[in-house]
């Protein structure tokens, strides 16, 4: 793998779109795209106030760093500067009352629980 620099300040926020998932008020900036898996394992998400992502499972785990704002990940309240590691197989939903910007590292696609 070669070195890659992504200048996130030069990227536009794009609405997060996932088939069959309500993602109103959530925006994404892709920091790294993996052609082998055809998905971004590292990205930024911005939640508008009141935005939420449904309950889902992480087959390969997840890492979140809160850049700004506050967010509830399952039962955990996170604020700017907080880091969350969730092991493989963990489940949670995500909600931000006031809005937030998050850095995500997710090695494998999530599975939304219906």
Q: pLDDT tens for residues 64-106?
A: 999 999 999 988 999 999 999 999 999 999 999 999 999 999 9
8-state DSSP, 10: G
**Which CATH number goes with the domain that contains 86?**
2.60.120.10
Q: What is the pTM of this model?
A: 0.91
Q: Is 39 a domain residue? A: yes
CB atoms within 10 A of CB 29: 19
Query: What is the span of the domain harbouring residue 100?
Result: 20-112
Give the residue among 88, 80, 38, 46 at the shortest CA–CA distance from 63.
Answer: 88
pLDDT tens-digit map of 15-66: 999 888 888 999 999 999 998 888 999 999 999 999 999 999 999 999 999 9
- Total count of domains within the chain: 1
């Amino acid at each position: 793998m070669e070195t890659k620099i992504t200048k996130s300040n030069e990227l536009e926020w794009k609405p997060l779109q996932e088939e069959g998932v309500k993602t109103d008020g959530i925006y994404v900036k892709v920091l790294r795209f993996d052609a082998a898996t055809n998905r971004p394992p590292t990205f930024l998400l911005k939640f508008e106030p009141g935005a939420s992502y449904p309950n889902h499972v992480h087959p390969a785990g997840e890492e979140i760093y809160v850049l700004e704002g506050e967010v509830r990940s399952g039962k955990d309240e996170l604020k700017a500067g907080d880091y969350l590691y969730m092991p493989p197989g963990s489940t949670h939903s995500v909600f931000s009352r006031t809005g937030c910007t998050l850095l995500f590292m997710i090695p494998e696609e999530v599975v939304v629980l219906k």
